[in-house]
Amino acid sequence: MRVMCTGRVDLSFVLRAFERGADGVFIGGCHLGECNYTTHGNYYALRMASLAKHILASIGIDPGRLSIEFISGGEGNRFAELMNSFSEEVTELGPLGEKEGLSKDQLAANIAAANRIVPYMKLIERERFKLAYETRAEYETYFGGDEFKALFEEAVGEKLSTSRIIGLLEGGPRTTAEMADMLGMSPSEVAKYIRLSSSHGLVRFDEGLKSYALA
């Protein structure tokens, strides 16, 4: 357990916990609008956790393994109830990757792909997801809506998919069909991200192997 202002809880902390084998991550902070440090870091934490849940879903991890709740220092009983409830939910989900059908290697590769885009995510969060909402319900409505889903795919989905492909190619050249099978994508989707990677000078086509490799 780590104690700090939730405004300091970084996406990389969440990913590191799962990378190290945690079956669930619980973030507890002050009630929204009642920040002890007047920095309103708990609003940042809520945005970060909402984005993190979408990223987890994108790499095949059940987003229910991450929970964020807001509790005051005088709500000991509520804190215990929340922790017991979350513990039961995580126990039902089982060991990380098992219910999701991910092998240890797949899990490690997917988390590594997400880790590679953390610096980009920090920039995107500040520029495109800094919202003026005041209630949790407003945040949940926004992050669960079609507008956010479209923006997430545009701003994050492509970067994450490209990162997963780069991770695969670090292990050696692959054909489009091989990558599609390993990533659970269609060949056309892989081809689209390969084109993006090639245009950025990250990937090249190896004529001799008839496969793609890192540039």
Task: Convert the pLDDT of each residue in 181-195 to its tens digit.
Answer: 988 889 999 999 999
Is residue 90 one of the residues assigned to a domain?
yes
pLDDT attached to residue 67: 96
Mean pLDDT of 160-177: 92
Residue 122 burial (C-beta neighbours within 10 Å; 0-12, 13-18, 19+):
middle
Mean pLDDT of 157-183: 91
Q: How far apart are the first and last CA of the chain?
A: 41
Q: Is the pLDDT of residue 2 over 60?
A: no
Q: Which residues, other chains included, contact 156 with Cβ-Cβ below 8 Å and sequence gap of 6+?
A: 51, 54, 55, 58, 117, 121, 124
Distance CA 68, CA 91 (A): 17
Tell me if 178 is assigned to some domain: no
Task: Name the burial class of residue 192, with classes exposed (0-12), middle (13-18) and buried (19+) by CB atoms within 10 angstroms of its CB.
Answer: middle
Tell whether 176 is covered by a domain: no
* Residue 205 maps to a domain: no
Instruction: Identify whether 204 is part of a domain.
Output: no
129 compared with 48, residue with greater pLDDT: 48
67 falls within a domain: yes
Q: Where are the beta strands (DSSP E) in 2-65?
A: 25-29
Q: What average pLDDT does this structure show over 85-92?
A: 96
Question: What is the helix (H) or strand (E) element at residue 12, kind and residue range?
Answer: helix 11-19
pLDDT average, residue stretch 11-32: 93
pLDDT at 24 over 90: yes
Between these two residues, 43 and 96, which has the higher pLDDT value?
A: 96
- Structural domains in the chain (count): 1
Instruction: Tell me which residue range forms the domain holding 42.
Output: 6-171
Rounded-to-5 percentages of helix, strand, coil across the chain: 60, 10, 30
d(CA 140, CA 136): 6
Q: Report percent pLDDT > 70 for the chain.
A: 96
Confidence of residue 39 (pLDDT cuts 50, 70, 90): low
Higher pLDDT, 37 or 155: 155
Average pLDDT across the chain, whole number:
89
How far is 127 from 157, CA to CA, in rounded Å?
16
Flag whether 55 is in a domain.
yes
Asked whether the beta carbons of 72 and 78 are under 8 A apart, the reply is no
**Residue 200, pLDDT score:** 87
pLDDT over 60 (residue 1): no
pLDDT tier at 8 (50, 70, 90 boundaries)?
Answer: confident
CA distances from 81 to 71, 76, 84, 88, 123 (A): 11, 9, 5, 11, 36
Decide if 177 is inside a domain.
no
Confidence of residue 128 (pLDDT cuts 50, 70, 90): confident
Report how far residue 96's alpha carbon sits from residue 99's, in angstroms, rounded to the nearest whole number: 7
Kindly report whether the global pTM for this prediction surpasses the value 0.95.
Answer: no
- What's residue 124's pLDDT? 78
Determine phi and psi for 120, rounding to 5 degrees.
Answer: -65, -40
Task: Give the mean pLDDT of 61-75.
Answer: 92
